Structure 1
Amino acid sequence: MPGATLHQVCAFLNVGQTFVGTQNVPQNQGSAKDEAWKVNVRIQGCNLEQGYLCGSMEALNVQSTESSVVTFWEGEIVDNKNHTFFTGQWNATKDNDLKHWAKFASFAPIMAEVERDGGLSVDLANYDHMFMRWKEQFFVNVNPDCGLTIAGFYYVCFSRRDGTIQGFYYDPHSTPFQKLELKPALEGQQGHSLGIYQFR
């Protein structure tokens, strides 16, 4: 039922909803084990009609800094009205797009259509998953010279059914295929709170 699907989407993408999980940063072969950051995300704004959302992301236990790192990001929802599967910016080619979208199992059933016509024939409004791009805009609580980069962006797959999120970070100058895995957190659950930041 389309109505139920929309209700589920809005329930998980409400302003104030938090998600918790990890970002896995693969290391070079023969070096130390992969680095895994704890990550908290809070939705700060969402407009489904305009295919837009934004929020804050907090990365904990990042080796290059003593404190947590909070960034503000803005997102594009792939809806074939406001945004398509092809990024067209941030140094991403169509080949980059397809390689990253293909890493999501839920993308496999529509990959042929995306390769054929950009996915314009797919009924994304009633698809079980939403595809997005999240682009970090600025650091909130640390200096830009903290040793981390926000030059890239995340390819994101969001489950309408349970609110889980998978993402892959793309930046040609960073470690490829850093994997983001998040699940919705219950408000008030200890250890999973992310401070409210006001952005002007």
Structure 2
Amino acid sequence: MPVRVVLENTPTPSHVSAVTPRRRSFQSCTLLCAGQAFSGTQNVSSLQKDEAWRVNVRLQGCDLEHGYLCGTMEALNVPMADTPVVTFWEGEIVDARNYTFFTGKWEAAPEDDIRHWTKFPSFSPLLSQVEVDGGKSMDLSNYPYIFMRWKEQYFVNVGTDCGLTIAGFYYVCFSCSDGSISGFYYDPNSSPFQKLELKATNDGRSGFSFSSYELQ
């Protein structure tokens, strides 16, 4: 949810066709589940200032089978806001079955995708195949990192005139080993490569799981 800073093709669709061969779901990741909380910072630096906001994220729903998750994001020290700013977001899990590394929307061309994904060191072994077809032919089920896109949908507790923008989205990398998350915000009209860094917390879990329809 960065401050909008205005700076002076046809993308390949990210959603995989229904005829794509079925692949296994991701390996079990106990820290990628409904109710899990994360805490960290988002760097919103621009040419005019260097600033980092404290950020809390909680997963409200996770369906690995269909490549979907959702949650809330809370920014705590936003200068123009009197209270923490909370947004609701929905995510796409890049699994080569439901979604590929090519976004295909939100003003992101394949070149933008490659430019952002390559900022994650864990993406390097995948680059050559992704450049060919977005990674459609890959089996990522046992890869130790899970790549995602998070798209904020609406502000929960403030109006749209709060001085922030949710027009863009986050490229996200999740580590299955320790639950750490890194991400980069993309919006052609905002400062580039605003970095999100989060770590899993032991905060009490609350949420729901789509795969089992279990309330927690």
- Determine if the TM-score, normalized by the shorter chain, exceeds 0.5: yes
Q: Which amino acid aligns with 1:65?
A: A
TM-fit CA distance, 1:25 = 1.2
- 2:37 aligns with 18
1:99, 1:67 → 2: CA distance? 34
C-alpha displacement at 1:109, in angstroms? Answer: 0.8
For the Cα contact (< 8 Å) 2:180–2:200, is it kept in 1? Answer: yes
* Larger relative contact order, structure 1 or 2 (CA cutoff 8 Å, min sep 6): 2
Report % sequence identity.
Answer: 63
Looking at structure 2, the residues matched to 161 and 85 of structure 1 have their Cα atoms a distance apart, in angstroms, of: 21
| Distance across 2 between alignment mates of 1:105 and 1:120 | 20
Distance, in Å, in 1 between the alignment partners of 2:138 and 2:122 is 13
1:173 aligns with one of 189, 192, 198: 189
Q: Which amino acid is the alignment partner of residue 174 of structure 1?
A: S
Residue-pair matches, total? 183
TM-score, normalising length from structure 1?
Answer: 0.87
Any idea what SS the aligned residue of 1:119 has?
A: coil
Q: Deviations over 1:146-194 (max 9, x none)?
A: 0000000000000011110000000000111000000000125xxxx9x
Q: Does 1:111 align with 2:132?
A: no
Q: What residue identity is the alignment partner of 2:106?
A: W
Over 2 Å off, 4+ runs: none
Letter in 1 for 2:114: L
TM-score in terms of structure 2 length: 0.81
1:122 and 2:143 correspond: no
Q: What is residue 101 of structure 1 aligned with on the other side?
A: 117
Give 3-state SS (helix, strand or coil) of 2:185's partner.
strand
Report the Cα distance in structure 1 between the residues aligned to 2:81 and 2:203, rounded to whole angstroms: 27
Partners of 2:157 and 2:132 in 1: how far apart? Answer: 43
Offset at 1:27?
2.1
For 1:69 and 1:175, how far apart are their aligned partners in 2?
19
Match of 2:10 in 1: none
Equivalence map 1:64-103=2 (5 Å) = 64-103=80-119
Encode CA deviations 1:60-119: one digit per residue, 9 max, x unaligned. Answer: 111121211000000000011111100000000000000000100000111011012221
C-alpha separation in 2, matches of 1:185 and 1:134: 19
Taking the aligned partners of 2:173 and 2:27, their CA distance within structure 1 comes to 16
- 2:96 and 2:139 in contact (8 A); partners too: no
Give me the CA root mean square deviation.
1.8
Query: Which runs of no fewer than 5 residues in structure 2 stay unpaired?
Result: 1-23, 208-216
Which blocks of at least 5 consecutive residues in structure 1 are unaligned?
none
Q: How does 1:33-52 map to 2 (within 5 A)?
A: 34-52=50-68
Query: Which residue in 2 is equivalent to 1:134?
Result: 150
Q: Which one-letter code corresponds to 1:138 in the other structure?
A: Y
